[in-house]
Amino acid sequence: MADAASRLTALAKDLLGHPLPMRIRAWDGSEAGPPDAPVLVVRHRRALRRLLWRPGELGLARAWVAGELDVDGDLYEALDRLAGLIWERGADAKDAVHAVRDPRFRAAARGLLQLAGPWPPPPPPAEEVRRRSGPLHTKRRDKEAISHHYDVGNDFYELVLGPSMVYSCAYWSKDTTLEQAQADKLDLICRKLALKKGDRLLDVGCGWGSMAIHAAREYGARVVGVTLSTEQAAYARKRIADQGLTDLIEIRVQDYRDVKDGPYDAISSIGMAEHVGAARYREYADELYALLKPGGRLLNHQIARRPEKDEAAYHVDAFIDAYVFPDGELAPVGRTAAALEEAGFEVRDVEAIREHYGLTLRQWVANLEANWAEAQRLTSPGRARVWRLYMAACAVAFERNRIGVNQILAVRTPEDGTSGLPLRPRAWTETTS
C-alpha cells in the first residue's frame, strides 16, 4: 500500500478537484507533493478525523490547536496558497454540490475515512469557546466575549504587542519600528480630532490606556477611557499612575452604552466597533452622537470586510469565532459610514490603511515567535498556536484585500453648518510611500 503522504496527496486532489498547493509530510514520516512548496505536517491521523467531522476551517483549526497539524517553512506562503485555494476556488457553493455528487469525490471521502483511523474524533481542544445560544451583543454576552479575548493575561499581550501595548493597526512609514508606528497612529488620531489642552476626550474601548496617555501627555486632554476588560483597566491605571497622569485620565470598566456623562469635545473609538455587531451600528452611532457636543468630532478606526450577498457572512469566520474573537463581526465600511450619517454625523474623511495592518500583524507574529517558549508558558501551547495562526492568517487577509481597516472622521456639525474643519485637512502630496 502507498505511504500516507502519497495517499493524502491523491485524496486531497480528488476531494478538492485541484492539486493541494503544498507538500505533505505524514505521521509515518513519508512526504509527497511539490518539492519547493511549504510543508503541511500531518503529525497524527486524528487530524483527518477532525476534518471529516467538521470539514473546512473549524476542523483544520481544531487539528492545528491540538498540534496535529503544522507548517514547516514560510507560514505566510502556506496560508497564501491555502487562501488562494479557499477564496478563489472554494467560494462557489455550486462547485461543492457538484463535488458531493461526483463518484470520485465520494470515493475519496471514503478513502480519507479509512486513513483517518478509529471513529469518533477526539473532543475539541479545551481552548475552544463553548457556543452559547441566545441573542448576540447583549451587554452580558459582550462582557463574556471580551473577557475571553482580553483576559488572556497582560503578560502575554506584552510579548505580542511590545511596549506600546496598542492592539490596533499602526501607521507605518519606511524604516519605522512598531513602537514609532503606533505612536504615529495615536498622534494622527489626536490631530484628526484637533485635540487641545483641556478638551474632554472619551476613548471607547481604551485597551491598555495608550491613546488616553498619548492624548493627555502630548495634548493636555482630559480623558475618560472605557473598557470591558478588568485586566486591561488595572494595567492602564498603573501605567497612568507611573506617568503621573492620574489628574488627567480616568479609566472605567464600563460598557460604552452606559457612559452618561457627556458632552465630550471628541471621541476616539479604535478597534472597538468590530465588537459591536453590524445590526447595532446605528445604536452605536446614536450613543456616540449623543455624547458629543455640537462641533465635536469622532474618529472611528475599524476593520471592514468586502461586501457579500449574504449578510450572515459578516459574522467572523468559524476559526476566529471559536478560538479568538467570539461574536466578532466585520461589515463593509459603507455600513459604518451610513449608520454615522443616519445618526446625524457629517462624515468628513475616510482614510483606508489596509496595508498598514499587514505590516502590524507581521510584527506581532515576529514578536510572538521570538518569545515562543514564554508565550506557551503564559497561556497554553494550544492558545499560543491559535494566536500565531490567527495573526498570520489576518495578515494574509489584509494583504489580499479580503479585509481592510479605515479611519472615519465624523463631525457632529451644528445646525449652522460650521464643521470646524480646515479647507484642506490633508494634502496627498505629503504622503510618503
- Residue that the C-alpha cell 476613548 belongs to: 203
Distance CA 292, CA 290 (A): 6
Q: Which of 232, 300, 407, 413 binds ligand SAM (CB under 6 A)?
A: 232
C-alpha span between 199 and 65 (Å, rounded): 46
Residue 197 Cβ, how far from ligand SAM at the closest point, in Å? 22
Candidates 228, 337, 340, 353; binder of ligand SAM (CB under 6 A) is 228
| 129 DSSP 8-state letter | P
- Is 229 among the residues that bind ligand SAM (CB under 6 A)? yes
Minimum Å gap between C-beta 431 and ligand SAM is 22
Maximum pairwise Cα distance, the chain? 81
CA 189 to chain centre: 20
Site for ligand SAM in 245-304 (CB under 6 A): 255-256, 270-272, 275
Q: Figure out which of the listed residues 20, 58, 146, 216 binds ligand SAM, where binding follows CB under 6 A.
A: 146
Nearer to ligand SAM, 9 or 268 (CB): 268
How many residues interact with ligand SAM (rule CB under 6 A)?
23
Pairing label, strands 222-227, 200-204: parallel
Q: How far is the CB of 187 from ligand SAM (least distance, A)?
A: 13
- Give whichever of 60 and 183 is closer to ligand SAM, judged by the CB atom: 183
Report the residue number, 142 or 399, with the smaller CB distance to ligand SAM.
142
Q: Is 204 in the site for ligand SAM (CB under 6 A)?
A: yes
The residue (of 9 and 182) whose beta carbon lies closer to ligand SAM is 182
Whole-number minimum distance, CB 184 to ligand SAM, in Å? 13
CB of 264 to ligand SAM, least distance (A): 15
Task: Give the one residue of 166, 331, 391, 409 binding ligand SAM; rule: CB under 6 A.
Answer: 166
Nearest-CA neighbor of 404 among 336, 349, 327, 352?
352
Contact present, 407 and 301 (Cβ < 8 Å): yes
Rank residues 229 and 413 by Cβ distance to ligand SAM and give the closer one.
229
Q: Which is nearer to ligand SAM, 9 or 336 (CB)?
A: 336
Q: What is the DSSP string of 368-405?
A: HHHTHHHHHHHS-HHHHHHHHHHHHHHHHHHHTTSEEE
Site string for ligand SAM, 67-96 (x = CB under 6 A): ------------------------------
Q: How far is CA 51 from the centre of its chain?
A: 24
CA 237/CA 252 separation, integer angstroms: 9
How far from 265 is each of 207, 409, 425, CA to CA, in Å? 21, 14, 19
Contacts (Cβ under 8 Å, ≥6 apart) of 32: 3, 5, 6, 8, 9, 23, 24
CA-based end-to-end distance of the chain: 56
**Rounded-to-integer distance, Cα 321 and Cα 228, Å:** 18
If one counts every other C-beta atom within 10 angstroms of the C-beta of residue 287, the result is: 21
Per CB under 6 A, 222 contacts ligand SAM: no
Closest CB to ligand SAM among residues 387, 413: 387
The residue among 101 and 140 lying less far from ligand SAM, judged by its C-beta, is: 140
Residue 221, all three cell numbers: 486632554
Cell numbers 500500500 correspond to what residue?
Answer: 1
Binds ligand SAM by CB under 6 A, chosen from 150, 264, 390, 398 = 150
CA distance 192 to 425: 8
- Cβ closer to ligand SAM: 24 or 288? 288
DSSP alpha helix (H) spans, 137-268: 139-150, 154-161, 178-192, 210-219, 230-242
Among 76, 167, 172, 357, binds ligand SAM (CB under 6 A): 167
Stretch that binds ligand SAM, among 44-52, 222-230, 348-356, 371-379 (CB under 6 A): 222-230
Does residue 227 interact with ligand SAM by CB under 6 A? Answer: yes
Q: What character string, x for contact with ligand SAM (CB under 6 A) and - otherwise, covers 330-349? A: --------------------
User: Residue 348 is inside which H or E element, if any?
Assistant: strand 346-352
CB of 238 vs ligand SAM, minimal distance in Å: 16
Contact 291, 270 (CB under 8 A): no
> Which is nearer to ligand SAM, 50 or 214 (by Cβ)?
214
Give phi and psi for 229, each to the nearest 5: -100, 120
Using DSSP's 3-state secondary structure scheme, residue 153 falls into coil
Applying CB under 6 A, does 202 fall inside the site for ligand SAM? no
Q: How far is the CB of 269 from ligand SAM (least distance, A)?
A: 8
Q: Where along the sequence are the contacts to ligand SAM (CB under 6 A)?
A: 142, 146, 150, 166-168, 204-207, 210-211, 226-229, 232, 255-256, 270-272, 275
